[in-house]
Structure 1
Amino acid sequence: MKEQIGIERLTGLLAFAKAGSLGSYTAAAQALSVSPSAVSKSIQRLEKHLGLKLFSRTTRSLSLTAEGRDLHARAIRLLRDAAEIEQAAFASRAEPAGTIKVTAPLPIGVNVLAPALPRFRARYPKLAVDLRLTDRLVDIIDEGIDVAIRVGDVVDSRLIARPLAPHKLCAFASPSYLAARGIPLHPRELAGHDCVNFRYQSSGQTLRWPFNVGGRILEITPEARVVVDVSDAVVAVLAAGGGIGISATYVAAPFVKRGELIPLLTDFAVDRFDITALWPESRRGNPNVKAFTTFLGEIFPSPAPWDTLIAENATD
């Protein structure tokens, strides 16, 4: 007769599957909504029961042992089966409730999603939102994310994708800077201006400024007097008179509305990518996901209000 698996051992297998996929007890703990020490203890108990060392640990890294790699694929199947059971239970429930895990890039989360969450919570008081803002490319399936917002083209057969709005980039500067230095009417005139640029935290590369010139995309990397690695900091520097910079329109729009920034070179502005909502195929019938993705359609209307505001306040 086969020995029945206990709750403690099952918990250890789930913790092992997450930690093996994410390469970190801390990341696994966040995905499972428990403490890192709980993950560590569960895996230690599992290793003791199996008589195997599943991970090689140092102060800086966590990697699967040869025995751990052999067992990890089976543990992942267990994790996915558990997720499917949970989703089937959610789908049978009509009213959204529990917790929905959402991930998004920091600028979209801060400027679009976060201000709208109180309205969403008022509509669905039994549904809590766990919003995770990061520029890291999150593995939606392995990290148990319900809905992800991303910028750019995404191809993954495991995911359902819905375009939300164009990701329009435009140049901006403050009225005081333009009064002192003049208004550029063509991208080539930026060479005579102080420029503020953005650096990607993930790669360390600075943003190449795209402009649509004569139907072709021209990319330039201006000589920047200030470089920062957070999008909202770029517009803060610009609003303080720091020069000319490129920003997504949804980040700059509040500054434009208050008269602190003026859109520039709008005839050359580029819709570089789409902002897209993604969720796992397994959550197609999940009422929480249905409620949130429907709400996303409301806060990303077409045309986007921030793009309309920019067009109304353009200098050219």
Structure 2
Amino acid sequence: MHRLTGLIAFARVAALGSYTSAARALGVSPSAVSKSINRLERELGLALFARTTRSLTLTAGGRDLYERAVRLLQEVDALEQTAFAAKAEPSGMLKITAPLPVGVHVLAPYLPAFRRRYPKVTIDLRLSDGFVDLVREGIDIALRVGDQSDSRLISRPIAMHRIGAFASPGYLAERGIPSSIDDLAEHDLVNFRFQSTGQLLRWPGDRGKRPFDVLAPLVIDTSEAVAAALVAGGGIGISPTYVAAQYVSIGLLRPVLPELTVDRAPIVALWPESRRENPAVRAFVDFLEQTLVAPTPWDRTVDAHR
């Protein structure tokens, strides 16, 4: 059993590139990961990593073992999932990952209701805007925005990622409410920059027209910070409706220019093929579909304040 523990720790370090990241993924301390790998190296009589103060790379023997370990751990995982599937009631740990805005606004508010329905399921939610390899990192479910093509994963659309234009009541009282897209030239704008590409958001065109670029004196690369700047009177900006809705509901933001409200892409749930029969995974995906039926709670909030 301790050798299997060592292989699990080794595979996570090899996939993630550091003891700290592997420890975080496994829910243990970095020292525990280090001890497991050191024990495995002693038992195998093989150095698995070439270590320096700044890098950690696989040795030739480590690369060969990693390929074999991944196959072995996938088999162990499949056996574990088969055992889970044999239980009628969803239970056990459910590891979920999502981008930060989706996790905060789309997932987290509904997790308590899910746990009240399935009290034997525990949830480990990990939020990151970086790419997460579900198979290598042992994640059960991911929520992502947009079409995701990966033959190893099963996907299902859960809700729609919709964006719209918003501003604070104070800003609109001072500068006026725009009646058309052309009026934006007379307003301060707040724009969003994608962290993944560094590109600026192109604002949606009216009624199927091509998206257009804007000149904005304020550019921010997280959705929450864009919304916070708008609440503070920074101007007019584009926000996902699931981010803006909480501010709209308490009167801190108002939707403007309904022609700029468009569906961008589906929010998709993905899970590894090995989790297909896992009762907790099936229950969670079904719960999201039932809870986030269109129009979603956040879109109803925004539409009610137009």
TM tier, smaller: over 0.9
The question of 1:271 aligning with 2:263 is answered yes
Provide the C-alpha distance between the structure 1 equivalents of 2:42 and 2:196, rounded to a whole number of angstroms. Answer: 38
Q: Which residue of 2 aligns with 1:216?
A: 209
For 1:90 and 1:226, locate their aligned partners in 2 and report how far apart those are by CA, in whole Å: 50
Aligned to 1:287: 279
Q: 2:12 aligns with which of 15, 18, 21?
A: 18
**CA root-mean-square deviation:** 1.7
1:37 counterpart residue number: 31
Which of the numbers 174, 178, 186 marks the counterpart of 2:180? 186
Alignment partners' CA distance in 1, 2:110 and 2:153: 24
Q: Aligned AA for 1:209? A: R
Residue aligned with 1:136, SS: coil
Decide whether the 8 Å contact of 2:203 with 2:238 is kept in 1: no
Instruction: Give me the TM-score of the superposition, normalised by structure 2.
Output: 0.94
- Once the two structures are overlaid, the 10-residue window that deviates more, 20-29 or 191-200, is 191-200
User: 1:144-193 deviations in whole A, cap 9, x for unaligned?
Assistant: 11111000110111111110111111110011111211222333432332
Report deviation, 1:206: 4.7
User: 2:204–2:212: 8 Å Cα contact kept in structure 1?
Assistant: yes
| Cα distance between partner residues in 2 of 1:79 and 1:192 | 59
Per-residue Cα deviation, 1:71-122 (whole angstroms, up to 9, x for no partner): 2110111111111111011001111122100111111111121111111111
Matched residue, 2:76: 82
The 1:202/1:271 distance shift into structure 2, 3 A limit, reads: same
TM-score, length of structure 1 as denominator length: 0.91
Aligned to 1:113: 107
SS where residue 167 of structure 1 aligns? Answer: strand
The structural deviation recorded for 1:214 is 4.3
Aligned length: 306
Aligned residue runs from structure 1 range 159-174, under 5 A = 159-174=153-168
* Structure-1 separation of matches of 2:204 and 2:237: 13
Aligned residue in 2 for 1:46: 40
Q: Deviations over 1:182-238 (max 9, x none)?
A: 2223334323321222333444x2531331334233131x33333333311211211
How far, CA to CA, are the matches of 1:23 and 1:52 in structure 2? 19
2:225 aligns with one of 218, 225, 233: 233
User: How far apart, CA to CA, are the structure 1 residues paired with 2:278 and 2:146?
Assistant: 25
Q: Secondary structure at the match of 1:100?
A: strand
Match of 1:251 in 2: 243
CA contact (8 A) 1:168 1:270 kept: yes
| Range with bigger deviation, 38-47 or 192-201 | 192-201
CA distance in 1, matches of 2:223, 2:53: 32
Query: SS at 1:15's partner residue?
Result: helix
Looking at structure 1, the residues matched to 76 and 283 of structure 2 have their Cα atoms a distance apart, in angstroms, of 22
Report the 3-state secondary structure (helix = DSSP H, G, I; strand = E; otherwise coil) of the residue aligned with 1:211: coil
Distance across 2 between alignment mates of 1:255 and 1:207: 24
Q: Distance in 1 between matches of 2:188 and 2:208?
A: 27
Counterpart of 2:305, as a letter, is N
Q: Which runs of 5+ in 1 are unaligned?
A: 1-6
Identity of aligned residues (%): 59
**Counterpart AA for 1:155:** S
Whether the aligned pair in 1 keeps the contact of 2:165 and 2:260 (CA below 8 Å) is: no
**Is the deviation greater in 177-186 or in 158-167?**
177-186
Equivalent residue letter for 1:142: R
